[in-house]
């Protein structure tokens, strides 16, 4: 468990050092001049950190809701039923992940302009469904494959209505698994670059877009600081959910001990 | 008290052959009826149909002559206890037992006392706060039973209640089911593939073969008066002798036999006798060939098997062969190849329709 934590934390360390460096050249192991300038710059209103965070959270939240609404019923159907050609369907569901994002986005862009949702948070959220719904659907199908639907029948037989059965029996059983799926959806959405850039058209600037603009212009200290901010929601989300998921996954269980 | 009637019940999944085909049975009010049949014969499907968890393709299900087909499972008051007990793992034992009452919005104080009473009835007081996972298999089964009984259903449906239990737990569970049944008098339907389980548990047995009911009777009748060769075979019968019944005698290719007249149907029929009812005697030298005992034929022991509590023989008579079971002490005297006299006591043979 200790090794795992080191493996998770180690890549973050150089970013942290970058964020407080002013001058750091080869062959110095640590920066020769330290400074908090980068943090000041990142947190200054001029750099739009607040706006980018708002865009990121708004888009990712919307994506999570939409993807869950699509992916959970689809995953349930896929997980509980056997039918000829099921493997093919599973492969087709994964297809959007295989196709390069640029190709998808260029095609969809024209359509979104016609519907008037290009350059908007809604448009970005809808296009983010392309890389997220496949993962969520397959993950949820795995959750349901391990769920014995006789539990639902037992509840009905004991007097629970269809709705009460979903609430008191199905949800507690599959909830944690669906929550992990939703969490991954949120994280995948908040790390999208190409799709956000093309469909957002510069109007929707999420954290990765902000980060890339600094990294590209050689502002390593600011990029480092921004990276830490950018990682934060994911770590927080994992930490929060790990309280409900301990034991399900070593990585998540380990984070709980932080 | 509720009488359950299944009439012309058919259940078909997709385009496959029907799992249940024209099933008719009346389950008497307050009885403990077993539906017995081999695996895959549609027993569990039948229970789910009664519980409303499946919709029949055709046919009628009535509780006290009122159709319940249109009733949703939660309104049917026929509670099913699944084979693998299905306790909700994230609820305590008490919350599991109280589940049905909570769904019926029973006030909390009443709910608590009814749950406690029911745990008492299944002889598991003081475990309400534990989790299902911390219980043994037998305890889980009893909690599942309590969870079904607490809502005072009209019909209790038990799917293989003894099959997941060890031998000594089976006896305990059987006694518990009996005592609860006689205390509450709820019409109970038990499904099982185990002939012995059905016989020791139920006061009525319905034998289900290939999707329809072949015989509904007392457990004893299945051994003594089976309705067909298939029924007799399911209950361990292995001796079948075709022939024709005329003039008070049953004529076969190995001789003629006296049969009890009340069992006889005129014309072609099949004689059956249980292996334990077949008599095997060692003929005395120069014995009374002229005045043989009634219903005897000469045969030869073909093979024998020592079974501890019994000895089993295969005896050839002419072109036929019969199974016989005797007490184990006679094993040595009846070695393979030994000529014997085989006797079919008239009061123990039974005629089946051809």
With helix as H, strand as E and coil as C, how does B287-339 read? CCCCCCCCCEEEEEEEEEEECCCCEEEEEEECCEEEEEEECHHHCHHHCCCCE
* Residue in A150, A151, A158 nearest the CB of B100: A158
For chain A, list residues with pLDDT below 70: 1, 241-258
Reported ipTM: 0.80
**Residue B350 confidence class, pLDDT cut points 50, 70, 90:** confident
What confidence score (pLDDT) does residue B347 get?
A: 84
User: Do the Cβ atoms of A153 and B53 come within 8 Å?
Assistant: yes
Q: How far is B44 from chain A (nearest CA, A)?
A: 12
In chain B, residues with a C-beta closer than 8 Å to the C-beta of A154 are 80, 82, 86
Is residue B192 within 8 Å of residue B206, measured between CB atoms? no
- Structural domain that includes position A78: 2-255
Which fold would CATH assign to domain B237-353? OB fold (Dihydrolipoamide Acetyltransferase, E2P) (2.40.50)
Distance CA(A46)–CA(A210), nearest Å, equals 12
Contacting A with CB below 8 Å, chain B residues are 48, 51-53, 72-74, 78-80, 82, 84, 86, 88, 90, 99-100, 103-104, 147-148, 151
Distance CA(B202)–CA(B92), nearest Å, equals 32
Q: Tell me which of A154, A166, A168 to substitute to probe the interface with B (most B C-beta atoms closer than 10 Å).
A: A154
Strands (E), chain A: 21-23, 33-34
* Residue in B78, B80, B103 nearest the CB of A164: B103
In chain B, residues with a C-beta closer than 8 Å to the C-beta of A155 are 88, 99, 103
User: Do the Cβ atoms of B86 and A156 come within 8 Å?
Assistant: no
Neighbouring CB atoms inside 10 A of A57's CB total 16
Higher pLDDT, A239 or B319: B319
The CATH number for A17's domain is: 1.10.3720.10
- Each domain of chain B, given as residue ranges in start order, spans 4-230, 237-353
In chain A, residues with a C-beta closer than 8 Å to the C-beta of B148 are 157-158
Q: What is the DSSP letter of A96?
A: H
Find, among A130, A147, A21, A22, the residue nearest to A77 by Cα. Answer: A147
Is residue B185 within 8 Å of residue B30, measured between CB atoms? yes
* Residue in A156, A168, A172 nearest the CB of B73: A156
Distance CA(B317)–CA(B118), nearest Å, equals 59
Is residue A159 within 8 Å of residue B151, measured between CB atoms? yes
Tokens representing B188?
A: 């109970």
Rg (CA), chain B: 25
Q: Between vectors from CA B307 to CA B303 and to CA B310, what angle results, nearest 5°?
A: 95
Percentage of residues in chain B having pLDDT higher than 70: 96
Tokens representing A142?
A: 């795995």
The residue in chain B having the minimum alpha-carbon distance to the alpha carbon of residue A149 is B86
Distance CA(B245)–CA(A72), nearest Å, equals 68
Q: How far is A48 from chain B (nearest CA, A)?
A: 45
For residue B55, what is the enclosing H or E element? none
What confidence score (pLDDT) does residue B99 get?
A: 92
Distance CA(B214)–CA(B224), nearest Å, equals 15
**Strands B249-252 and B240-246, sheet pairing:** antiparallel
Lowest mean pLDDT segment, chosen from A233-237, B128-132, B209-213: A233-237
- The secondary structure of A63-83 as a DSSP string is HHHHHHHHHHHHHHHHHH---
What are the φ/ψ torsions at residue A233 (nearest 5 degrees)? -60, -40
Neighbouring CB atoms inside 10 A of B241's CB total 21
What confidence score (pLDDT) does residue A258 get?
A: 39
What's the whole-model pTM score? 0.76
Q: What is the pLDDT of residues B63-92, one digit of tens each?
A: 998 889 888 898 888 999 998 889 998 899
Q: What is the DSSP letter of A170?
A: I
**How many domains does chain A divide into?**
1
Tokens representing B303?
A: 């093979």
User: Do the Cβ atoms of B82 and A150 come within 8 Å?
Assistant: yes
In chain B, residues with a C-beta closer than 8 Å to the C-beta of A172 are 88, 90
The residue in chain A having the minimum alpha-carbon distance to the alpha carbon of residue B145 is A158
The residue in chain A having the minimum alpha-carbon distance to the alpha carbon of residue B50 is A157
* Residue in A150, A158, A164 nearest the CB of B79: A158
State the average pLDDT for chain B: 87
The residue in chain A having the minimum alpha-carbon distance to the alpha carbon of residue B150 is A158
**Strands B350-353 and B311-317, sheet pairing:** unpaired
Q: Is the pLDDT assigned to residue B37 strictly greater than 70?
A: yes
User: Do the Cβ atoms of A157 and B72 come within 8 Å?
Assistant: no
* Residue in A159, A164, A172 nearest the CB of B90: A172
Q: What is the pLDDT of residues B161-183, one digit of tens each?
A: 888 788 888 888 888 898 888 88
In chain A, residues with a C-beta closer than 8 Å to the C-beta of B73 are 153, 156-157
What confidence score (pLDDT) does residue B302 get?
A: 92
Helices of type H across B185-313: 195-201, 219-224, 229-234
Distance CA(B34)–CA(B174), nearest Å, equals 13
Q: Tell me which of B74, B102, B140 to substitute to probe the interface with A (most A C-beta atoms closer than 10 Å).
A: B74
Q: Is the pLDDT assigned to residue B207 strictly greater than 60?
A: yes
CATH number of B4-230: 3.40.50.300
Q: How many CB pairs under 8 A join A and B?
A: 59
Exposure pattern of A204-238 as b/e (b: 16+ CB <10 Å)? Answer: bbbbbbbbebbbeeebbbbbbbbbbbbeebeeebb
| Residue B302 exposed, middle or buried by CB count within 10 Å (0-12, 13-18, 19+) | middle
In chain B, residues with a C-beta closer than 8 Å to the C-beta of A161 are 72, 74, 103
Size of chain B, expressed as the number of residues it contains: 354
Q: How far is B213 from chain A (nearest CA, A)?
A: 25
Distance CA(A60)–CA(A205), nearest Å, equals 13
What confidence score (pLDDT) does residue A41 get?
A: 76
């Amino acid at each position: 468990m200790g090794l795992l934590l080191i493996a998770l934390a180690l890549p973050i360390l150089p970013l942290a050092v970058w964020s407080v460096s002013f001058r750091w050249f080869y062959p110095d192991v640590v920066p020769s001049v330290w400074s908090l300038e980068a943090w000041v710059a990142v947190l200054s209103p001029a750099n739009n950190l607040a706006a980018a965070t708002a865009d990121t959270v708004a888009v990712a939240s919307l994506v999570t809701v939409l993807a869950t609404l699509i992916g959970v019923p689809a995953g349930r159907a896929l997980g509980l039923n056997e039918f000829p050609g099921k493997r093919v369907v599973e492969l087709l569901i994964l297809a959007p992940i295989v196709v390069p994002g640029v190709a998808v986005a260029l095609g969809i862009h024209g359509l979104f302009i016609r519907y008037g949702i290009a350059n908007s948070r809604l448009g970005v959220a809808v296009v983010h469904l392309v890389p997220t719904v496949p993962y969520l659907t397959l993950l949820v199908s795995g959750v349901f494959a391990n769920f014995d639907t006789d539990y639902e029948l037992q509840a009905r037989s004991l007097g629970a209505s269809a709705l009460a059965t979903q609430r008191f029996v199905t949800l507690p059983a599959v909830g944690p698994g669906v929550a992990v799926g939703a969490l991954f959806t949120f994280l995948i959405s908040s790390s999208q670059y190409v799709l956000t850039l093309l469909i957002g058209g510069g109007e929707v600037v999420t954290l990765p877009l902000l980060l890339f603009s600094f990294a590209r212009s050689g502002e390593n200290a600011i990029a480092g600081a921004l990276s830490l901010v950018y990682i934060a929601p994911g770590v927080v989300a994992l930490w929060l959910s790990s309280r409900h998921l301990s034991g399900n996954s070593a990585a998540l269980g380990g984070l709980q001990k932080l | 008290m509720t009488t359950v009637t299944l009439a012309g019940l058919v259940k078909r999944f997709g385009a496959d052959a029907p799992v249940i085909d024209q099933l008719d049975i009346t389950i008497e009010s307050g009885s403990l009826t077993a539906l017995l049949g081999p695996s895959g014969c549609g027993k569990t499907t039948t229970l789910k149909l009664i519980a409303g968890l499946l919709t029949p393709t055709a046919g009628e299900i009535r509780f006290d002559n009122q159709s319940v087909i249109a009733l949703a499972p939660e309104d049917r008051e026929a509670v099913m206890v699944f084979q693998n007990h299905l306790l909700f793992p994230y609820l305590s034992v008490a919350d599991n037992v109280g589940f049905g009452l909570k769904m019926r919005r029973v006030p909390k104080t009443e709910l608590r006392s009814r749950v406690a009473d029911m745990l008492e009835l299944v002889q598991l007081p003081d475990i309400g706060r534990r989790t299902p996972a911390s219980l043994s298999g037998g305890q889980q089964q009893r909690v599942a039973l309590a969870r079904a009984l607490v809502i005072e259903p009209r019909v209790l449906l038990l799917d293989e209640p003894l099959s997941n239990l060890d031998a000594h737990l089976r006896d305990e569970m059987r006694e518990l089911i009996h005592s609860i049944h006689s205390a509450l008098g709820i019409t109970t339907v038990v499904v099982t593939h185990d002939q012995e389980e059905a016989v020791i548990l139920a006061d009525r047995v319905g034998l289900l073969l290939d999707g329809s009911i072949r015989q509904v009777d007392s457990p004893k009748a299945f051994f003594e008066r089976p309705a067909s060769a298939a029924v007799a075979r399911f209950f361990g019968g292995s001796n079948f002798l075709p022939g024709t019944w005329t003039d008070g005698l049953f004529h076969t290719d190995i001789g003629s036999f006296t049969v009890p007249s009340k069992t006889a149907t005129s014309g072609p029929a099949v004689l059956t006798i249980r292996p334990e009812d077949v008599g095997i005697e060692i003929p005395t030298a120069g014995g009374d060939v002229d005045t043989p005992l009634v219903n005897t034929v000469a045969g030869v022991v073909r093979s024998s098997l020592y079974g501890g509590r019994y000895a089993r023989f295969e005896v050839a008579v002419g072109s036929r062969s019969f199974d016989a079971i005797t007490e184990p002490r006679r094993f040595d005297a009846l070695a393979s190849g030994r000529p014997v006299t085989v006797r079919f006591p008239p009061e123990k043979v039974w005629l089946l329709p051809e």
